[in-house]
Copies of this chain bind each other. A is one copy, B any other.
Amino acid sequence: MQSDEIVKSQGLPQGFVWGAVKAGIKASGNADVAIAVAAKGANGAAMFTKNQVVAAPVTVGRRHMASTGGRVGVVLVNAGNANCATGQPGVDACVQTCVAAAERFHCIFDEVFPSSTGIIGVPFPSEKVVAALPELEQEMGATPEHADSFARAIMTTDTKMKVARALVDVDGVEVRIFGVAKGAGMIHPQLGAPVGPAHATMLVYLFTDIAAESEQLRGVLEPAVERSFNSISIDGDTSTNDTVLLLASGASGVKLDARTQEPFANALKLVCGSLAYQIVDDGEGVGHVVTLHITGARTEAEAKQVAKAIAHSPLCKTAWSSADPNWGRLLAAAGYSGVVFDPALVNITIGSQPVFELGVRSAAFQESAAHAEMQARDYTITMDLGLGEAECRFLTCDLTEEYVRINADYST
């Protein structure tokens, strides 16, 4: 680590360096191990998949966060092997990489936060990760190029890297947030606080230089995740490795307190919202990104339940792929969501086009106009249930032949 080169990089939070190298894990030969180091450490909050089946790095990550109270010195990510369904040997291999990284970067072994993404069930090549550490130490830095290299190395089926930034100006001092994500298939994150069993081909790392305790960070992370990563679905498949990690170095000197709470939380939501959108937009075979805006619900939870039923309906999603304003399928999907409602109170619009009003097809329904709006890559379907004031926005996409081709490509 070249400490005399840690400059105040434009837009990047202070207190971190990033790097990536090729360790020979990805079959493609691309860079596949990424590292982020907080030289003076960072406080963190993490959320993990609720899938019962969890990968070794999720088990180890949870354990580490619990034992350090959220203190993190190093984030160590590999792509190409998910280290999942690898039994105790997989957990041991993960711990080995943490121990080696702690030694090299001068922190305690459980201050190393590990992540993996890639193929399930193949023994984890920890020796390759360990062997890559000296080169990583040389490669790390605080420039935008360094940060981007981290973002690229964690990709698997993504076609592009996913980053987002925001900053909050507090009396002339910039507090910055830099977010990185990966994820293109097996996307229906159901992240929770790290207790109990856990899903993830979605990895998200949020770096900030605000000064905050881990408990405070949990308090801002959970609502940001709920409205972003927990409100998207590509294919309804919730993975075994999903992880969101928020790290605060404190290097800006600005504290997270009653005054800075709201602007910081809003900036975090912007970053998370942007990354969540990029994940869906880059989904396997995606032709259309569709926002389901469910309104007039009794509770936000019920609104989301309706949205999920629609987002997971193959009949709705195939209709979107051909820009077919088939509202009957939307209505039927909402109808089997498990939420009690009366179709006679429901109104549906596709983009600006009314299609269904109070139990019957809208008198103003114009099929060609609705079809035209659905040709856009990105549009919103609004369904008002007429039962209350609660609502939610849920981001999803169409189901295409391309998705099937990609995922039926044996052996992937």
Contacts and interface: CB of A to CB of B under 8 A. Distances in A.
A374 to B, nearest CB: 10
A328 interface: yes
Contacts of A361: 85, 121
A258 interface: no
A404 B407 contact: no
Given A312-B312, A408-B321, A410-B319, A360 B85 contact: yes
Interface stretch (A132-140, A223-231, A234-242): A234-242
- So how many copies of this chain end up in the complex? 2
Central interface residue in A121, A197, A327, A337, by most chain B CB within 10 Å: A121
B85 A313 contact: no
A334 interface: yes
Interface string A114-127: 00000111000000
A328 B403 contact: no
Given A360-B85, A407-B315, A410-B319, A332 B51 contact: yes
Interface in A91-123: 119-121
A220 to B, nearest CB: 26
Interface in A144-172: none
Interface residues of A, number: 68
A228 B404 CA distance: 28
Contact of A322 (B319, B342, B408): B408
A186 interface: yes
Contacts of A367: 411
A400 interface: yes
A335 B237 contact: no
A133 B77 CA distance: 71
Contact of A315 (B237, B331, B334): B237
A328 B197 contact: no
A372 interface: no
Contact of A404 (B86, B326, B331, B404): B404
Contact of A53 (B120, B185, B335, B401): B335
16 contacts: A51-B336, A52-B343, A53-B331, A53-B332, A53-B343, A85-B360, A87-B360, A119-B328, A235-B315, A238-B336, A240-B328, A318-B403, A319-B410, A322-B410, A323-B410, A367-B411
Given A85-B328, A85-B331, A236-B314, 15 more contacts: A51-B332, A53-B331, A53-B335, A120-B331, A197-B340, A236-B312, A240-B332, A314-B407, A315-B407, A318-B403, A319-B407, A321-B408, A322-B408, A324-B408, A400-B408
